[in-house]
Amino acid sequence: MTANSTRPMVSVVIPHYGGKDILSECLISLKNCNYPNLEIIVVDNDSPDDSAQFITDNFSEVNLILSEYNRGFAGGCNFGVQHAQGEYILILNNDTTHEPDWVDHLVERIKSNTSISAIQPKIMNDKERDYFDYAGACGGFIDKYCFPFARGRIFSTVEKDTGQYDDACKIFWASGTAFLTRKKIYDQLGGFDETFFAHMEEIDYHWKCQLMGHEVWVEPLSIIYHKGAVTLPVSSPKKTYLNYRNSLILLLTNYPAGTSFWLFFPRFFMECISLIKEILTFKWGHALAIIKSWVWISFHPSFLFHRRQNLDKKHKINNIYRKSIVMRYNLMGKKTFIELING
């Protein structure tokens, strides 16, 4: 991959915390990409293994940025972007592999429409490659209570790819697993909110992009494969804590004040039901994680207030799903994106 002045530079930013074998697969896959003008940046978040030395010894073309502590996904990305030279930033998970033309399709689409602030590829499961991946699938959305879902995945139901979502279109959020964004917009927004640490920081970023009047898209011609839950397993109570806490941050700060107030109570009721379920199934770590998320929110009113004050809410967002996916999934049996939207 040599510099090519006819194609805009794309800076690939990969935050990394341990797992050099996984990262090696990702970097080898990037080497095989067709796109001629890639800058690859790996931010080593103080990995507990010898990842940094491994990268130095085996991938001399990589710009390795060493962090003195674990900044999380959000902080790692921001730290990497500070060193990026490209017109576009490609946020990428370290546990991905890619089709050779995947970057080309993303760049072509975002260049074709100046309204697009960010765009994601079609994300497939690495083990079962005819199924969508849990993390973003073919473009993300949220319901009014800030529960995320995607074209190809609602809660634990992941669809087989039969071409049903092969249209490039506007979405609400592009997956942090992989998305391309304009560096000038990333810089303007100050990147990810590092309070999120990991999980849902990309939803917050894309929400803010749309509040500025931009659009977020998916380009299904661009295809990657994701292993998933390598750094933080699905079974981890920390993942539960971050998901619940960060979702509440979104609900309480990104909406107008009145909307946040009225949506909070039914959302809290649904979380109480989740807590009871975790207790009844003896998942004490996850139950405690939900309670800890409430405690964090309760003890950080000034943070929530200042986030509300600093957000630019000039533009109205009209592509939030106005119903409850919890109710429609669990009570009405709407298990696929098409069933949900058409039902």
Residue 95 tokens read as 């546990």
Q: Where are the beta strands (DSSP E) in 67-205?
A: 88-92, 96-98, 116-125, 140-142, 148-150, 153-154, 157-158, 169-171, 178-182
CATH of domain 10-226: 3.90.550.10
- pLDDT single digits (tens) 223-264: 999 997 666 677 799 999 999 999 999 999 999 999 999 999
Q: pTM of the prediction? A: 0.95
| DSSP character at residue 38 | E
3-class DSSP assignment, residue 133: coil
Contacts of 21 (CB under 8 A, 6+ apart): none
Q: Please provide the DSSP assignment of 279-338 as one string.
A: HHTT-HHHHHHHHHHHHHHHT-HHHHHHHHHHS---S----SB-S-HHHHHHTS---SHH
Residue 327 tokens read as 């109710």
- In this structure, are residues 78 and 194 in contact, taking their beta carbons and an 8 Å threshold? yes
Predicted pLDDT of residue 233 = 72
Low-confidence ranges of the chain (pLDDT < 70): 1-5, 229-232, 312-314
Residue 139 tokens read as 């473009």
Predicted pLDDT of residue 343 = 76
Q: Where are the domains of the chain?
A: 10-226, 237-342
Predicted pLDDT of residue 2 = 46
